[in-house]
Structure 1
């Protein structure tokens, strides 16, 4: 299976996939990654960079023991943690998928066959991921083929300098400030300050950076879409 076919299988293409007749909704068990394939891809990418497990652990904030179990196929990760791990490896998710060899197809039906699904996260039970500029709690992560990622984040970067270079990615992004003061800096506009209760939705292909004011991390609700998931 080549990369294009694999992307279509995971619904990461830019569109044009015909919708077949409806089938039974995909279950969580049906939509997990093949553990051995997932682990071999992570190990291959880590090896190409000359990193030890400790190096990858420091970058991803995932313990060495957990990473070792992922690489040996004993456990797998949620979709959001897989994205976080891809970022730690300096690889976008499609590049990660391209590292899977022939026959490394994730299990489960095509996402276009999934109808009527739902996902629930109880208070405090989200997937927690720490990144250099924010602490994330990803919500409703048990269904892998959704078209957006949502959650709560504390933006720990306190200045544009601390944040570092602008970031850009496909899709759209939404933020709503729950606590504190958030600044959204973009390449083409003056920095925008958002206070509690303010919301913003924007084209995330625009180079952007989010940071907090007042010496304390702003707490925000966010959603991110990606047209490759449609």
Structure 2
């Protein structure tokens, strides 16, 4: 467990681009103490772990949680009503609040009512991995096939459906797109 916590501290620090000095200053400890904590040459103390966790923007529980497969395996979220299965590929919002996800769309193209079309600030981007996606964009109906990508202003009413069978896409959403498309 100690080794996992030490690696987690170092990984979180380096992922943020922080030096030992940067994190040590934020946590209120000396850089040499932090170095010895990361390398295993100093015992982990609760007060220092709490300060390090806070400086990293994590809870103490997140810092010391036992490793299981949840940090490796991405499990799908199914929305049967909307014909979507989604895999969120980043746990937290990425750079600039962007979320990357893979979606399997089974809801077939057909009559789309105005109530089916959503609007939110920003832009959506997706690339089709398999199948064909029908993009309803205002009055336009656009077929996007495997290997093609689409990018559009989301202030235009829009919806995604599959054409003649399931389609899978890789999608990048901003905060508003995530809330609108994924309900989060």
TM-score category (smaller protein)? 0.5 to 0.7
Query: TM-score, length-normalised on structure 1?
Result: 0.43
| Structure 1 residue 206, shift from structure 2 partner | 1.4
CA–CA distance in structure 2, aligned partners of residues 202 and 126 of structure 1: 27
Pick the aligned partner of 1:193 from 126, 130, 143: 143
Q: Which residue of 2 aligns with 1:82?
A: none
Q: Does 1:148 find its partner at 2:104?
A: no
Where in structure 2 are there 5+ consecutive unaligned residues?
1-21, 27-54, 63-70, 179-184
**Superposed CA RMSD:** 3.4
Greater C-alpha Rg = 2
Query: TM-score, length-normalised on structure 2?
Result: 0.52
What pairs with 1:214-225 in structure 2 (closer than 5 Å)? Answer: 214=164, 216-225=165-174
Q: Does 1:179 find its partner at 2:127?
A: no
CA–CA distance in structure 2, aligned partners of residues 183 and 135 of structure 1: 17
Q: Does 1:226 find its partner at 2:157?
A: no
CA–CA distance in structure 2, aligned partners of residues 202 and 154 of structure 1: 20
Maintained 8 Å contact 1:127/1:139:
no
Maintained 8 Å contact 2:133/2:144:
yes
Structure number having the greater helix percentage: 2
CA–CA distance in structure 2, aligned partners of residues 192 and 31 of structure 1: 47
| Structure 1 residue 169, shift from structure 2 partner | 1.8
CA–CA distance in structure 1, aligned partners of residues 127 and 90 of structure 2: 18
Runs of 4+ with >4 A deviation: 21-24
- Count of aligned pairs: 116
